[in-house]
Structure 1
């Protein structure tokens, strides 16, 4: 059997690597070796670890959708705490995931000033955002962590998934933004940013929210 060290593995941007039969102890050790300041993302479920490195296309979509969410929250006078791509994990569920972006909204008060998260006592984020360019979102991992709402953006399409019971179902409405046509408007302003630029698109989106 050939044994490789993690430092021997190189994942080019836009690619991913799958590691099978990874124990929880090994998963924790890999996270420690990768460190917090890195450009890769990981997802772990039932012994399978995925490591991926996003493309600029992925990062652009992640940033603008996150900014659009923040504008909506601010204009609706909703308090929030953003935890970005924090590693969320639960050993008892053998699951771990790093969203592209995430927000505590309903539970924001519990997370003010928090530097470490323990999902055995802390709630999961209320909203997670995933940009599916290099790989598909690991819905089973999110299901294990009990994240109430996931937005998946792929090929210009936004899909809202709400946790009902033990399964995610597709929805036309967001739990947080019930009075807004999130799917249509997010698509419209993301596409607008590609033609007129990010800053003008965000300004127009803020104006649209205020007038809606």
Structure 2
């Protein structure tokens, strides 16, 4: 790169675009950035985007991820959360770091893996993206074959399911079926703000158990 990344500062909520970045340069950028960082990347056919999230973005990401984990735990559905793991494909010239991602149907296939190779391993079953100051990249997730993409923007959840080579917006999730997620998530976030995260999680667990008829 003509300008080394350690000389660049990306303020929270801002983007940096680098054009005509080849695959070797893309991997060099990843190596230079390292793993302990706040900056996220998206790479699509030579265009590299670097962005730094705002506190609002991170708060919603963590709280919605908590909600997903609670639902899966209470429904006794095994899962593997992989956070902002870098997923990339040289063949497709694409790379992305989701806000959070989960292996659910394919959890057993990645349970013991320290690295994911999309040439032989499946993509995440569910990806979560929080849109605050930038849009997500559904075209990248589509190319990588992610079956379900959640996008949370302006207090609303959008559930996108991969069908016949395209994402189709749906009222219901495949990985967490039979729950009104579009209503639960905004309500849960509101409770976190008014009552605190721990109290909201307790109420959520109780609600799930009541609705599936369990007594624990």
TM range (shorter): over 0.9
For the pair 1:46 / 2:45, whether they are aligned, the reply is: yes
Task: Name the residue aligned to 1:91.
Answer: 90
Task: Name the residue aligned to 2:117.
Answer: 118
Task: Name the residue aligned to 1:128.
Answer: 127
Q: Is the 8 A contact 1:16 1:134 kept in 2?
A: no
Task: Name the residue aligned to 2:208.
Answer: 209
Task: Name the residue aligned to 2:76.
Answer: 77
Q: Distance in 2 between matches of 1:198 and 1:127?
A: 23
- Displacement, 1:166? 1.7
Superposition misfits of 4+ residues, deviation over 6 angstroms: none
Matches within 5 A, 1:54-203: 54-203=53-202
- Displacement, 1:194? 1.3
| Structure 2 unmatched runs, 5+ | 212-216
Count of equivalent residues: 211
| Structure 1 unmatched runs, 5+ | none
Q: Distance in 1 between matches of 2:113 and 2:81?
A: 11
The C-alpha deviation readout for 1:6-27, integer Å capped at 9, x for no partner, is: 2221101111111111111111
Q: Distance in 1 between matches of 2:202 and 2:209?
A: 11
